[in-house]
Chains A and B, each alone.
Chain A
Amino acid sequence: VSRVGRGPLVVAGGSVAGVRVVHALRAGGYDERIVLVDREDGLPYDKPALSKGVLTGEEPQPPPLLTADGLRDLAVEHLPATEVTRLDLHARRLDLDGGARLGFDRLVIATGSHPRRLPALDGMAGVHHLRTRADAHALRAELAGAARVAIVGGGFVGCEVAAAARERGLDVTIVEAGPRLLGRVAPAAVSAAVLGLHTDHGTRVVCGRAVVGYRGSPRVEALELDDGAVLPVDLVVVGIGSAPATGWLGDSGLDVGDGVRCGPGLAAEGVDGVWAVGDVARWADVRSGHHVRTEHWTTAREQAAYVARAVTSGVAGPFTTTGYVWSDQYDVRIQHVGARGTATGEVPTGDGRGRLFLHRDDGEVVGATALNAPRDLLAVRRALTAGGTTPLKGHVA
């Protein structure tokens, strides 16, 4: 039975992954109806600047992913400020908030993720999370009137917000429950370099301490840490990771434990014509042999382009990515590619500027992290992109 003609291709989610799917579908010659459903108001925008230039004020608005003209040129039906509330796979239909229903022929799930919350602080005035344009603007407005800010969580987002707040002249403390900054993504040597970066810029970093409570009402005035310390604050930003936005899929029949479970080709397992891309996708990664989920801009775009190709050409080999991430903190561009390996060593950069860390498994380079060394990082990235792993033994650029 042909599915064609039963309904549009629906993309659920209008961030970088969802919008890229639409672009790539049209570029690939797909000429069926496309509907883009986005929970956010207005035109789709790009998120990386939200934890950087939008907070410092350097780039007050995040850049658009699509203009009104672009939407028209792509012939996309755009439903902004619309939440998808339920997926009925049997009827191949979505429920939208407000009661409308939307049938689909094919579905690309790109609903992203929500910031994780800290139960100890939930609902307090003066406590912020950062995910959307509205979040960033609310946080920026409060940064303007604050003197002391605590960042709970020392991952990329927490570190970036700390740098932005410090650039605004605020007194900044990062509180990380784990033993070091970037502990989930980076080896210890990289964490040490990033720690130095923050302390050099006057940001205090407290690792190995959890927030157990607060003082103040209705607005937070201090954080209580698990060693008894009390940290006076005007403002708190919680950046402790994110959880895939799958609440609307609860009774769909899809496996949504930590993201939509997909096969190697990003197709949702157990169903035809449904894919997931971006933060919400947990796919069978053939390189690692595990189901993995990433929250990276570049990987989201790669996944989107891959799924668009799968739709237009039917080709569906395994999706692979080298995993490229960047983070801008103060005047330093941190770039990472590949895996963290089992052993990390710092090597000289090609021109003596910046710092480069190579990550190895059994002597073979499987990843790298650079601080202000873009060409060195690029050399590793190109080698990994070409060959999966690289025989580089310490000579790059």
Chain B
Amino acid sequence: MPYRIEIDESACNGYGNCVVAAPEVFDLDPVTGIATVLAGHRDDADDAAVAEAEADCPARAIRLSRP
């Protein structure tokens, strides 16, 4: 099932756990140091690594919304 990845930029603290969990999908923005979703991955196929990234976020800044 596809989902949309959303990052709450006010909650994100740049811990980087999401990038370690799913390096193909997340990065830290070079300017803000805040997590970003890499181009082409915002509406991704369901993926265990992304679910891991969501669960591993200490700031609970990642939301996966499934339609």
Which A residues lie at the B interface, using CB under 8 A? 20, 23, 27, 46, 48, 63, 297-298, 301, 305, 324, 326, 328, 333, 335, 350-351, 374-375, 377-378, 381-382, 385
Contact = CB atoms under 8 A, between A and B. Distances in A.
A298 B59 CA distance: 12
Given A351-B30, A382-B23, A374 B16 contact: yes
Contact of A374 (B20, B33, B51, B52): B33
A375 B17 contact: no
B14 A374 contact: yes
A382 B56 CA distance: 15
Contact of B20 (A63, A297, A382): A382
A23 B51 CA distance: 11
B33 A63 contact: no
B15 A375 contact: no
A328 B13 contact: yes
Contacts of A301: 56
B49 interface: no
Interface in B1-27: 13-17, 19-20, 23
B17 A298 contact: yes
Interface string B34-57: 000000000000001001100110
Contacts of A27: 48, 51
Interface centre among B13, B48, B58, B60 (most CB of A within 10 A): B58
Contacts of A324: 17, 20
B64 interface: no
Contacts of A350: 30
Interface of B: 13-17, 19-20, 23, 28, 30, 33, 48, 51-52, 55-56, 58, 60
| Chain A interface, DSSP helix/strand/loop, else mixed | helix
Contacts of A305: 52
B54 to A, nearest CB: 11
Given A27-B51, A381-B16, A375 B60 contact: no
A326 B13 CA distance: 10
A378 B16 contact: yes
A378 B60 CA distance: 18
A298 B17 CA distance: 8
Contact of A297 (B16, B19, B48, B58): B58
Contacts of A377: 16
Contacts of B56: 298, 301
Contacts of B13: 326, 328, 333
- Which of A23, A324, A374 has its CB near the most chain B CB atoms (within 10 A)? A374
Contacts of B20: 324, 378, 381-382, 385
Contacts of B48: 27
B15 A326 contact: yes
A382 B19 contact: yes
Contact of A48 (B30, B33, B55, B58): B58
Nearest to B13: A333
B58 A378 contact: no
A335 B13 CA distance: 11
Nearest to B60: A63
A20 B23 CA distance: 21
Contact of B58 (A23, A326, A375, A385): A326
B11 to A, nearest CB: 10
Contacts of B28: 374-375, 378
Nearest to B55: A23
A374 B58 CA distance: 14
A27 B13 CA distance: 26
A378 B51 contact: no
A378 B14 CA distance: 9
Nearest to B19: A378
Nearest to A302: B56
A68 to B, nearest CB: 17
A124 B20 CA distance: 45
A335 B15 contact: yes
A394 B19 CA distance: 22
B27 to A, nearest CB: 9
Contacts of A381: 16, 20
A326 B14 CA distance: 10
A191 to B, nearest CB: 22
A73 to B, nearest CB: 14
B28 to A, nearest CB: 5
